[in-house]
Structures are given as C-alpha cells and as structure tokens.
Structure 1
C-alpha cells in the first residue's frame, strides 16, 4: 500500500515520538522521528518531506530556533509546533514567524491529524509552485536579450507601438519577437505569456 508523504517528528521525549509515530502511521503517513534538532538538521534538505512536527522546548535548540534555522536554509517545510500549556506565548511567536499551527499537550489526535493534513496540502501547493517557477525559468533562459526586453514591456501591458518606440525598433519587429516569445514560452495567449513570465520572476518595465 502506498503511504502518504513523509512527516518529520522532532522531540527529545521518546514516548512522545513513539505516540506521534503510531498516530501518523495509522493515517498511512511515512514517518521519520529525531530526538534533537541537530540530528534532524543533519539530514533534512529542500524538497524532502511534507511537514515537521516539533516540540517547542528541547535542549540545545528549541522548536522556534529550529524553525528559524530552516528558514535560513531556505527549506520550505511547513512547521507544526507541539507545546505545553505554559509555552503558549512562545508558540504564538513561532506562528508569527511562520509556523502553521500549534498543538497543546496533551494533544487531541483528530486535531493533530487535521493540522498535518493542512500542512501536507500546503507542502503540495509549494511544490507545485516551485515546479512551475523552475519550468518558467527554463523557458526564459532560451530567450534572446531582445526577446527578454520585449517580454518585460509586454508584462507591463504596453502595446506593440509603445514597445517599438521604447526599444527603437519597428512595430513589425516587435510582432516578430512577440511571435517568437509565444512559441518559446509555449504560451497559448498573451495572458498566458504574462503569467508564465511573472511566475519566472519577470517584473514589468
């Protein structure tokens, strides 16, 4: 049977790790658990896993510091913080820093699974966006310098005559470049072309 994407657990309490693992595996998730932030950071990489469930209070590096370190490493992993009652203000800080949820101990199984489901959906969306951006970037990379100039003006919504004036070329030449852009960018329409360009990070002139 195919399992769901990997969920990472980081908690220094072995009983908590075992309990979380059993719960998540019962929901068909693949699970990896670690007893410290350092051991997790030694193996995590961009694109791995669906989300991280981390205790807020751990020796050496707590859940908030772990979340910040993931951000510094540009590892876009949704984070769920598990917290004791007295740690709620710290958990709120974690959410302000980007955590998607915090679950108080003793946690409710259904609440935690619902939070993990939301994190997985967010992770799937982030992966799709990253794949779209990579594909768009690959298409941009094959454009000539002049085609890129024309594209920037198209993204700004300028008509052919204005682009021709701005670049010192004829409107007919702009039309030719525009046709090449449509072909190379595999765009079905001008709006599609603009969407792909903006996905690749092209900004208006």
Structure 2
C-alpha cells in the first residue's frame, strides 16, 4: 500500500481541463482529491479535516486564491497552498508568495512543477506524521 493514500489535496478551480489534469496527477500519486467551487466551501471543509495541501486558482476577475489566502491567515490555518495563475501575471504571483503561498504555478503548463510540489507535500506529511 502506498503511504501517500493518507494525504489529501483540496482543489479550488473552475476550469474543467485544469481540474482533470490535477485529478490525474493526484491519482498517479495516490493522493485523495476533493474539489471545491468556492473558497467559502473549502474553508467550511477545513473545520472537519486538514488536507496535506491546497491548490487554488487565482482566476480573474474573482481572485479567489488570494481571498482564500487572507482567510486562511486570519483563521491561523497552516496548510501549504499552491496558487495557479495565468502566464505573465507577475503582480498576482508576487502577491501570492507574499501572502504565504509555497509556489505560484502558471497555467496551462502546470503538470511538471505541480508534480514536484506534490512530491514535497507527501514527503513533508510523512516527516511530520
């Protein structure tokens, strides 16, 4: 049995293609993926369970990921967050990192970097377990 099956990932993403890419990647790594359509739903889920990682899209005009980062900070959640954003959106990337994100990954080429980050999440989960 793969120990990664005990790791879970929360995803805040509206784009079906990106969601399916992440679903496939999580399946490859035996990570449990839970998808959310709003950051409020995700925050409510955090009351019952603590995921190993949160992946959140910062799509405009909503900017949900940065709003989520602010809410996580105000509620003292210590979950690593990976922000997904659009290519050439330097201001959002800087804002995400300043808000505490562990990485900002540009869409649509997310697979390789996201795989690296998820490997780190799994490794960290078992070092702290």
**Counterpart secondary structure, 1:12:** coil
Counterpart position of 2:64: 62
Counterpart CA distance in 1 for 2:25 and 2:101 is 21
Q: Deviations over 1:39-58 (max 9, x none)?
A: 21121138611000100126
* Consecutive aligned runs of 4 or more in structure 1 exceeding 3 Å deviation: 58-61, 119-125
Counterpart CA distance in 2 for 1:12 and 1:108 is 15
Candidates 111, 114, 117, aligned match of 2:113: 111
Counterpart position of 1:96: 98
Whether the 8 Å contact between 2:82 and 2:103 is mirrored in structure 1 is yes
Counterpart CA distance in 2 for 1:28 and 1:115 is 14
Whether the 8 Å contact between 1:78 and 1:122 is mirrored in structure 2 is no
Q: How does 1:21-170 map to 2 (within 5 A)?
A: 21-45=23-47, 48-57=50-59, 60=62, 62-122=64-124, 127=128
Q: Deviations over 1:129-149 (max 9, x none)?
A: xxxxxxxxxxxxxxxxxxxxx
Normalized per residue, which structure has more helix? 1
Instruction: Name the CA shift for 1:27/1:123 in 2 (closer, same or farther; >3 Å).
Output: closer
Instruction: Name the CA shift for 1:46/1:64 in 2 (closer, same or farther; >3 Å).
Output: farther
Larger radius of gyration: 1
Q: State the 1:121 CA deviation.
A: 3.8
Q: TM-score with structure 2 length normalisation? A: 0.83
Q: Which has the higher contact order (CA 8 A, sep 6+)?
A: 2
Unaligned runs of 5+ in 1: 129-205
Whether the 8 Å contact between 2:7 and 2:125 is mirrored in structure 1 is no
